[in-house]
Amino acid sequence: MAKEKILMPKLGESVTEGTITSWLVKEGDHVQKYDPLAEVMTDKVNAEIPASFTGTISEITAQEGEVIAVHELIGYIETEENDDEVVETVENNEQQLEKNSEVDVADSTDHSMKNRYSPAVLKLASEHNIDLTTISGSGLGGRITRKDIRTLIEQPDKQNKAISSENQAASSAMKQPKVKNGHIEIPVTGVRKAIAANVTKSKQEIPHAWMTVEADVTGLVTYRNNIKDTFREREGYSLTYFAFFIHAVAKALREFPEINSTWQHDKIIHHQDIHISIAVANENELFVPVIKHVDDKSVQGIAKEITQLAYKARNNQLLPEDMEGGTFTVNNTGTFGSIASMGIINHPQAAILQVESIVKRPVIINDMFAARDIVNLSLSLDHRILDGLICGRFLARIKELVESIDETASLV
């Protein structure tokens, strides 16, 4: 036996600390290698800390709610001998753990662990495009194990797509806020807490400025409407307007590298790679995953990646690497019918673009009124890095690009 430290892992690029939101084990618990030990929240993503060894939790030194720096101590584990063989016997260990838990869960309606996924489960589900919300977990508290995923992969006909009423009741009960003295108290935790910290930092540190242009996208609307049904039948996912806008923004960023920047203390960093952050949501939470190397992708490729990231967000499958490295943000506020908005910059980026709703408006063409499809493109900029001149040219270029889209545009 050996006593090993449990350290706060580095959960993403530029992540320096994490908050222990909840421990999933207690002192004296026996765990297998890769079992989740605690839930941790960073400014990038919520994740779980996996066990690096098989053994017994001997001491927990970090408390729930405590902020811990990367590589700092959070507890100790008494490891078993021959731990180098654990990787080869993970399946047997998982099966034994589930067998030992049968008495506790066989007649129980406890599904409190249903939506807590280990990194190994998330990775395996993502690789095989599996919706975790449609699976009944066989682990403690309804937790989905790697064995459940592998069983589904090998025997897809056994997938249980029905979510039990007990699951729904348990999930609903967990989300109920506290009613006190005539008002409702809702704890600020998880993603909402990270969002609050990020936007507060952005507004406190970044001197925001705003500008908006109108673009006539009648050609884009006509083209997309003509091909959207056949595209979906052929490719299996939707061709959205948003993919065209992302494609145009990537081209403009390549021509105006000053916009593709971040502020770093007393330096401005111009990024060579173009990684665009987009806002996607599940039922209750907003996430900002990143499409990497967007300027190397076609409209079709961007549409596919938007679909994949949205799917992962809805099913709690986003990984830390999905959220890292963004250099510019495009927000599809038009989804909600918005026609004008001022976005808060995704710190430490230099700007964020709001793509508003496309609406029919009367426009004068050759001294005659015509109904055209018009969209507002609203840019929020960090005035420490950018000024109106460069941003005006950048927006004008995006306007030019989207207004030129018609039936001759290439999707690949």
List the catalytic residues: 383, 387
* Encoded tokens for 252: 């403009």
Looking at the DSSP bridge assignments, the partners of residue 270 are 261
- How far is it, in rounded angstroms, from Cα 236 to Cα 391? 37
The terminus-to-terminus CA distance of the chain in angstroms comes to: 58
Distance CA 131, CA 82 (A): 36
Specify whether the CB–CB gap between 71 and 7 falls below 8 A.
yes
